[in-house]
């Protein structure tokens, strides 16, 4: 047995239950009385607000503007793109009535049937592109670069907080272009923005690639993805960017007069990241004491923990805390102030609340510290017992570097884990052995790079046999395939594919 | 006939249609294919983003934290507070199915009936207070100060962009307190925050008051409101703050152990402002040339309009524009950078697009201006022909004052209008004559202050006869009522009431 941990069970004992406990004890979210719909609590929502602000800045810098479109999509409109509606048909919440009426026993029941059922948006391509068809008339109106922050509903049967919920929050970008090349360039640009955001803000290393045909977004010509690897060796799709070709432009009638005077169908894209990222961040960085938050995205950076004894020293201690808070709040950390929490509750064990919440830095302040003008600093990424004494002025001078150090160490640790759990496999026996063996304990195997003949049947078989899917065809690794053979069939290879079990 | 206007019809000719045209030609919003649900276009959403940021800062400064709760409320949960559910029963969108299935002719129809219907939230008291019942255990957990930014749905039969839509965006605050006094203090604090926001940011003068019983939020003990007066003399309720007593605490079971060891029901509040404010701002400040935006909330402050002639001067002109843009962007204006749009489209009449969009300042730049290092400045609040020449350095030095001047002039103009259209009326004949006469032309009368005996029957009669309602019982005007008589009945007065026709 190791040391006692703040979270029970540990990752090794039961990774799935560890995750639920981290979410709960980190005070991030909880289930509601509506099946599959979560409540995002203030600490969890604070994370999302920071994610929103960061991504929103990136989108605005690249010329995108925010707008808002209806939550409902009429059934007939949703049905206009056949592949699209089929892809979402099994998970659509449908509004059929518009009021309540009293019936037997004075009980309320739905009344006022709608002429046409309304789908609660599972994604907004249809309702947004319908508007775009009105907005776009000429090549001068292009590119049209729109983003929406919204809630969407997908009636998933098995849900898990953040990772898969019936309602979730996201941004969905929708753009219109005059040519296929420009639309593809936008699709790739957005993938790069997601990579930048994940790696440099969430400290989550990614593998960029394209989805195989069977894993594409319903109605897309091409889906790009950023794939991440969790500590248990399972993959998490963290963001997707779709080149939609002219499929939605044709379904919605987005036509424009081009420079040459001809009327043409436009080319569209869509791309999204969601509150699922919070789940990914938890699983990538969390430890057996709970959450570990990357400083650049944490809702607060430092908690001050005054050690109060109910004596006259207490006032001086709290005064010192206020001074620290004010001084640190004036320091800019990647576009936000340093955010300081002061926890002056008179209870035992409050330090451990903050450990479980993953706050990057804890500072304990007692009478001794006040007398010496010092603080006792603890990092969430160090052992709970490790502490460093430094003067307040040193803390102020060093805090940005200390936080950046934590941010970088999280990224490096995650990257090392990803590299150590990425294997190349060249034949079917090894492939099956690897993913069969790995379903024990914490590790679900990790990433496997293997050549593939491009056949959906082969893909389907390993999914049925091993619950393993192609996460993506990594970009920049598709050269020199001509002389390679498929690891699973021995036939000529068409792609290098990244395989894994996945959330 | 007066000068030609950028909007047809004028306010005087047809105020309702003028409003629709201002929204359309200002590129703020449009109707969608979903009955009553609007699309908020980028220029309109930019306004909302600034409103959100401003209100969010105010909420955070007063200790409120954001969270997110499910969009759906189970019918049985919604039914737990009888008055509340009855208040919303006629306008509830109801989800009854969770997937689509192919039927005859391969057409999709709703399938997978839910065990229990789900209401799309018209407001979130029930789902939020259910969570609060889990979160609150002790007086130490109080006050609990939560806010949510969300979309809500109320199936209104007659809708109008921003003012009354089936789906709208809002913030809804929900708080829990140990005592009635603390809850009332919170309700009043939030009303004051709305007043501050409306007057100092939207340049909209308000009258603060309490609603009469018949106009209260369903389930509230007391509803406070900020009422505003539009240019046509009709009132618009701009924000409400509800003291909910223990009604929702009892329905949801929010109990806490108090300092004295006893278990007690808590006291709750809720309060909201919505995208309706955008409609109010349009109607309060707009003119016959379209939108007029208060600088502190405008999505952009200045548009640069280069006068391009396709000659070699053009490069110099655009270069000068870039210099102006960079220099102005470095200036802080009430927490945001000065936001500069550069409209280098090669089309006629682009100036008028920006007049209709209500941008506070326009700057035209031609070869002459570049040569002299000057700009030609036009204010949205001045005649379209009026212009001022000033050097770039003077513009930089003065721009904050110029914008503040516009902001203040809008507020003063609106306040003057409100004062000029607020009358005291002391008897029934005058009351009826006033509101009957005033239904011609632009004016719908304005505010009438009159003493009232407090009877709902009297209130109902003037509503039926004149479509006039009590907007509020103004705070600070309820003293010395004892010797007054009701203007409508001659009976002893109970309150001074503010009457008006309303949106």
pLDDT of residue B105: 87
Lowest mean pLDDT among B118-127, B190-199, B259-268, B301-310: B301-310
Q: Distance (Å, rounded) from C-alpha A475 to C-alpha A487?
A: 19
CB atoms within 10 A of CB A83: 13
Question: Tens digit of pLDDT for each residue in B421-459?
Answer: 999 999 999 999 999 886 556 677 899 999 999 999 999
* Chain B residue numbers touching A42 (CB-CB < 8 A): 65-67, 146
By DSSP bridging, strand B340-342 and strand B302-306 are: parallel
Flag if A91 and B99 touch (Cβ within 8 Å): yes
* Mean pLDDT for the stretch of residues A150-178: 97
pLDDT band, residue A1 (cuts 50/70/90): very low
Q: Tokens at residue A449, please?
A: 């790079």
What sign has the CA pseudo-torsion B160, B164, B166, B169?
positive
Q: Is A284 within 8 Å of chain B by CB? A: no
Residue B26: strand, helix, or coil = coil
User: Mind telling me how many Å the CA of A315 is from chain B's nearest CA?
Assistant: 21
Residue B220 CB neighbours (<10 A): 26
- Whether A37 and B74 lie within 8 Å, measured CB to CB: no
Residue B33 DSSP symbol: S
**Residue A2 confidence class, pLDDT cut points 50, 70, 90:** low
Query: Contact B116/A120 with Cβ under 8 angstroms?
Result: no
Tokens 């792609």 -> residue: A495
Instruction: Compute how many other C-beta atoms are within 10 angstroms of the C-beta atom of residue B389.
Output: 12
Strand runs labelled E in B163-311: 167-177, 207-210, 222-229, 235-243, 255-257, 263-265, 267-274, 302-306
Look at residue B440 in the predicted model and tell me its pLDDT: 59
Per the model's pLDDT, the better-predicted residue between B126 and B443 turns out to be B126
* Predicted confidence band of residue A310 (pLDDT cuts 50, 70, 90): confident
3-state helix, strand, coil in chain B (%, to 5): 35, 30, 35
Question: Tell me, what's the pLDDT at B2?
Answer: 52
For chain A, say whether B118 makes contact (Cβ under 8 Å). Answer: yes
Q: Which of B65, B134, B140 sits opposite A42 (nearest CB)?
A: B65
A428 to chain B, closest Cα gap in Å:
38
pLDDT on residue B1:
43
Q: Which residues pair with A337 in a beta bridge?
A: A332
Tell me the C-alpha to C-alpha distance, in Å, between residue A229 and each of A75, A471, B290: 37, 10, 53
Closest CA to A67 of A174, A143, A156: A174
Q: Choosing among B100, B142, B251, which should be mutated to test the A contact, i.e. which has the most A CBs within 10 A? A: B100
User: Mean per-residue pLDDT for B161-184?
Assistant: 98
Is A79 in contact with B40 (Cβ distance < 8 A)?
no
pLDDT for the residue numbered A113 = 97
Q: CA-to-CA distance for A417 and A283, rounded, in angstroms?
A: 12
Question: 61-100 in B: which are within 8 Å (CB) of A?
Answer: 65-75, 77-79, 85, 89-100
Share above pLDDT 70 across residues of chain B, in percent, rounded to a whole number? 98
pLDDT value at residue A441: 61
Rounded (10°) CA dihedral A388, A300, A348, A346: 110
In this complex, which of B48, B49, B89 lies closest to A100 when CB atoms are compared? B89
Distance CA B447, CA B435 (A): 10
Helices (H), B383-455: 392-420, 428-437
Average pLDDT, chain B: 95
CA atoms within 13 A on the CB side of B37: 21
A310-314, B2-6, B50-54, B216-220: lowest mean pLDDT where? B2-6
| 3-state DSSP of A431-474 | HHHHHHHCCCCCCCCCEEEEEECCCHHHHHHHHHHHCCEEEEEE
CA-to-CA separations, B208 to A123, B174, B191, B201, B223, in angstroms, rounded:
41, 20, 8, 17, 11
Alpha-carbon torsion A375, A380, A384, A387, what sign?
Answer: negative
Q: Is A219 left (phi over 0), alpha (psi -120 to 50) or beta?
A: left
Q: Distance (Å, rounded) from C-alpha A61 to C-alpha B329?
A: 14
Q: Which residues pair with A281 in a beta bridge?
A: none
CA distance A100 to chain B (A): 5
Q: How confident is the model over A433-462, as a mean pLDDT? A: 88
Structure tokens at B56: 């969010």
Determine if the peptide bond prior to A143 is cis (ω within 30°). Answer: yes
Q: Output the CA torsion sign for B472, B55, B159, A110.
A: negative
What's CA A68's distance to the chain center, in Å? 21
Residue A443 has pLDDT above 80, yes or no: no
Residue A347, C-beta contacts closer than 8 angstroms, at least 6 positions apart: none
CB contact (8 A) between residue A41 and residue B67: yes
Q: Is the dihedral of CA A392, A396, A398, A402 positive or negative?
A: positive
Strands B332-333 and B38-40: unpaired
Which of B74, B92, B151 lies closest to A99 in CB terms? B92
Position with higher pLDDT, A310 vs B395:
B395
Residue A33: per-residue pLDDT: 94
Residue B293 per-residue DSSP state: -
Give the mean pLDDT of B291-318.
Answer: 94
Rounded CA separation B483/B501 (Å): 28
- What is this model's ipTM? 0.96
Cα separation, B437 vs B445, in Å, equals 8
Residue A417 main-chain phi, psi, to 5 deg = -60, -45
pLDDT at A242 over 50: yes
pLDDT in tens, A38-65: 999 999 999 999 999 999 999 999 999 9
Alpha helices in A111-161 (DSSP H): 125-135
3-class SS of residue A501? coil
Q: How far apart are CA B380 and CA B22, in angstroms?
A: 15
Question: pTM (2 decimals)?
Answer: 0.97
Q: Which residues contact A252 (CB under 8 A, 6 or more apart)?
A: A80, A126, A129, A130, A132, A133
Residue of A76, A108, A348 to mutate, testing the B interface (most B Cβ within 10 Å of its Cβ): A108
B4: confidence class by pLDDT, cuts 50, 70, 90 = confident
Q: Residue A318 burial by CB count (10 A; 0-12/13-18/19+): exposed, middle or buried?
A: middle
pLDDT in tens, B50-64: 999 999 999 999 999
Cα–Cα distances in angstroms (integers) from residue B270 to residues A17, A151, B109, in the given order: 36, 22, 38
Closest CA to A329 of A340, A317, A345: A340
CB B70 within 8 A of CB A34: yes
What's the CA dihedral at A239, A244, A248, A253 to 10 degrees?
Answer: 130
- Quick: pLDDT tens for A393-442: 999 999 999 999 999 999 999 999 999 999 999 999 999 999 987 655 66
- Asked if the model's pLDDT at residue A469 lies above 70, the reply is yes
B312 pLDDT exceeds 90? no
Contact B97 A101 (CB under 8 A): no
The DSSP bridge partners found for residue A379 are A361
A chain contacts of residue B169, beta-carbon cutoff 8 Å: 68
Cβ within 8 Å of A, B 225-264: none
Distances (CA, A) of B198 to B54, B193, B280, B297: 11, 9, 10, 11
Check the CA dihedral A157-A163-A167-A171 and report its sign.
negative
State the Cα angle at B424 between B420 and B425, rounded to 5°.
Answer: 130
Distance CA B59, CA B148 (A): 11
Band of residue A97 on the pLDDT scale cut at 50, 70, 90 = very high
Residue B437 tokens, joined? 């006469």
Q: CA torsion A148→A151→A153→A158, rounded to 10°?
A: 120
pLDDT at B439: 57
């Amino acid at each position: 047995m190791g040391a006692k941990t703040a979270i029970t069970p540990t990752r090794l004992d039961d990774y799935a239950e560890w995750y639920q406990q981290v979410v709960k004890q980190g005070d991030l979210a909880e289930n509601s009385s509506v099946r599959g719909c979560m409540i995002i609590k203030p600490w969890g929502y604070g994370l999302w607000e920071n994610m929103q602000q960061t991504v929103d800045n990136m989108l605005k810098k690249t010329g995108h503007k925010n707008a808002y479109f209806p939550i409902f999509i009429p059934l007939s409109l949703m049905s206009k793109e056949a592949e699209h509606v089929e892809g979402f048909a099994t998970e659509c919440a449908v509004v059929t009535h518009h009021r309540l009426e009293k019936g037997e026993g004075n009980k309320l029941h739905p009344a006022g049937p709608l002429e046409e059922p309304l789908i609660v948006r599972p994604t907004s391509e249809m309702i947004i592109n319908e508007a775009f068809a009105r907005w776009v008339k000429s090549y001068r109106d292009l590119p049209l670069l729109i983003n929406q922050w919204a809630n969407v509903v997908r009636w998933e049967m098995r849900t898990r907080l953040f990772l898969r919920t019936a309602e979730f929050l996201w941004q969905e970008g929708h753009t219109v272009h005059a040519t296929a090349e420009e639309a593809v360039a936008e699709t790739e640009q957005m993938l790069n923005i997601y990579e930048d955001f994940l790696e440099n803000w969430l400290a989550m290393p990614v593998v960029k690639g394209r989805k195989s045909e069977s894993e594409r977004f319903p109605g897309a010509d091409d889906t790009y993805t950023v794939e991440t690897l969790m500590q248990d060796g399972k993959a998490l799709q963290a963001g997707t960017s779709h080149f939609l070709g002219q499929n939605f432009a044709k379904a919605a009638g987005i036509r424009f007069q081009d420079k040459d005077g001809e009327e043409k169908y436009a080319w569209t894209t869509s791309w999204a990241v969601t509150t699922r990222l919070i789940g990914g961040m938890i699983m990538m960085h969390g430890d057996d004491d709970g959450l570990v938050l990357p400083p650049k995205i944490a809702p607060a950076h430092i908690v001050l923990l005054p050690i109060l004894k109910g004596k006259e020293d207490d006032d001086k201690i709290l005064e010192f805390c206020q001074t620290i808070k004010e001084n640190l709040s004036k320091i800019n950390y990647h576009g936000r102030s340093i955010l300081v929490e002061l926890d002056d509750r008179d209870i035992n064990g409050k330090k451990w609340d903050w450990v479980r919440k993953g706050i990057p830095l804890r500072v304990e302040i007692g009478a001794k510290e006040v007398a010496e003008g010092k603080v006792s600093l603890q990092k969430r990424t160090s052992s709970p017992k490790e502490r460093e004494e430094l003067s307040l002025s040193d803390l102020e001078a060093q805090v940005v570097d200390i936080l950046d150090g934590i941010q970088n160490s999280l990224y490096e640790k995650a990257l090392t884990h990803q590299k150590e759990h990425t294997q190349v496999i060249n034949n079917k026996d090894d492939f099956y052995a690897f993913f069969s063996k790995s379903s024990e304990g914490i590790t679900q195997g990790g990433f496997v790079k293997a050549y593939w003949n491009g056949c959906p049947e082969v893909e389907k078989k390993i999914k049925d046999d091993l619950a393993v899917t192609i996460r993506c065809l990594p970009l920049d690794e598709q050269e020199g395939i001509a002389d390679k053979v498929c690891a699973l069939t021995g036939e000529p290879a068409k792609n290098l594919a990244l395989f894994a079990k996945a959330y």
